[in-house]
């Protein structure tokens, strides 16, 4: 498990983009495990769910939207606050940027640190980072729990179904089409990043998604899930990874083992089953560190900074960043 370079600095391979139709109103922009973008096309407007990491990268999303509709892009919805999901927002020139109040609060609390941290970790995902405007991507509309919008006659439910990937996690549900956009609460053949997670809450939140009985689902990473059995596989795979990792870490912490030992044991335990998933080696140090925190003395995630990232990586991987 020698990860020679810090985070994903060695990940340079450009991924193939797919743009898939899920219903008359729903499209998925996916790229072989890179962060996804969802598109909702209503009667009179378009909503974009998660923006890509830079305005330059967002232009490819806009180009593909324009191949299927000329309706104005009025809304951007942030499933959570992570920089890779929000920093492309300015490219769409939306009338409104929508997020949960919890997500807004996290941007206030840790947005600047998170931005520096994420850009430092994963340079390939921030193509043309100089195109990002100064400052943060600020929501103009926030909600708590549930907000319903109508794009013409199309009902769009914007829901907080519980904490998991972050405390602000937001999904978009199209009840008429039974299509759900999950953000990073659900991944498919891609490793959940859990550095800002609530491990104890996440499985129940996934159960709350399942209770809606979505027939199609756009995960945060991985291809669009096009039928109920694929949706179930995405939910079950994410739940299994999160649960198995936390149980392993909690057992090690309860036995009095230090973080580095727990990391090594958990990595070796999970690698046979999940090691082929996208960004496994990248996520594991962050995921285990957060799980160890939650299992010991930090119910809420600590702020990741560029400096903390590197110190953690050096300590767990015995390498120089």
pLDDT digits (tens, 9 = 90+) for 206-251: 999 999 999 999 999 999 999 999 999 999 999 999 999 999 999 9
pLDDT exceeds cutoff 80 at 293: yes
Longest dimension (CA), the chain: 59
Q: Is 35 helix (H, G, I), strand (E, B) or coil?
A: strand
Q: pLDDT tens for residues 24-40?
A: 999 999 998 899 999 99
pLDDT exceeds cutoff 90 at 13: no
Q: Can you give the pLDDT at residue 123?
A: 83
How far is Cα 68 from Cα 19, in angstroms, rounded to an integer? 11
Domain boundaries of the chain, sorted by first residue: 18-317
- CATH number of the domain located at residue range(s) 18-317 in this protein: 3.60.15.10
Q: Can you give the pLDDT at residue 320?
A: 53
Q: What is the mean pLDDT of residues 152-169?
A: 98
Question: Of 112-126, 249-263, 297-311, which range is least confident?
Answer: 112-126
Q: Can you give the pLDDT at residue 4?
A: 52
Q: Can you give the pLDDT at residue 8?
A: 53
pLDDT exceeds cutoff 90 at 271: yes
Percentage of residues of the chain with pLDDT beyond 70: 95
pLDDT exceeds cutoff 60 at 2: no
Mean pLDDT, the chain, as a whole number?
94
pTM of the model: 0.95
Q: Can you give the pLDDT at residue 3?
A: 47
Q: Can you give the pLDDT at residue 321?
A: 45
pLDDT exceeds cutoff 90 at 157: yes
């Amino acid at each position: 498990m020698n990860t020679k370079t810090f985070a994903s600095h060695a990940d340079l391979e450009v991924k193939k983009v797919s743009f898939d139709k899920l219903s008359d109103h729903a499209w998925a922009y996916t790229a072989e495990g890179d962060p996804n973008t969802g598109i909702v096309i209503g009667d009179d407007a378009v909503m974009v769910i998660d923006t890509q990491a830079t305005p330059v990268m967002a232009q490819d999303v806009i180009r593909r939207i324009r191949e299927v509709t000329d309706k104005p892009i009025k809304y951007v919805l942030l499933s959570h606050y992570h920089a890779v999901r929000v920093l492309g927002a300015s490219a769409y020139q939306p009338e409104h940027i929508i997020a949960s109040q919890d997500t807004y609060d996290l941007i206030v609390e840790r947005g600047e640190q998170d931005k520096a941290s994420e850009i430092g970790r994963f340079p390939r995902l921030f193509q043309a980072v100089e195109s990002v405007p100064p400052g943060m991507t600020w929501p103009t509309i926030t909600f708590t729990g549930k907000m319903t919008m109508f794009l013409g006659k199309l009902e769009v439910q914007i829901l907080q179904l519980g904490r998991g990937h972050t405390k602000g996690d937001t999904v978009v549900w199209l009840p008429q089409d039974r299509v759900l956009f999950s953000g990073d609460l659900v991944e498919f053949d891609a490793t959940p990043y859990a550095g800002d997670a609530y491990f104890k809450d996440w499985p129940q939140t996934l159960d709350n998604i399942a209770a809606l009985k979505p027939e199609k689902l756009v995960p945060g990473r991985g291809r669009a899930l096009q039928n109920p059995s694929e949706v179930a596989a995405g939910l079950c795979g994410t739940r299994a990874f999160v649960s198995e990792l936390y149980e392993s870490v909690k057992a090690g912490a309860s036995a009095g083992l230090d973080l580095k030992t727990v990391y090594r044991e958990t990595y070796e335990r999970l690698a046979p089953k999940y090691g082929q998933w996208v960004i496994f080696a990248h996520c594991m140090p962050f995921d285990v560190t957060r799980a160890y925190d939650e299992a010991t003395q930090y119910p809420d995630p600590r702020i990741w900074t560029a400096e903390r990232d590197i110190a953690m990586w050096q300590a767990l991987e015995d390498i120089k960043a």
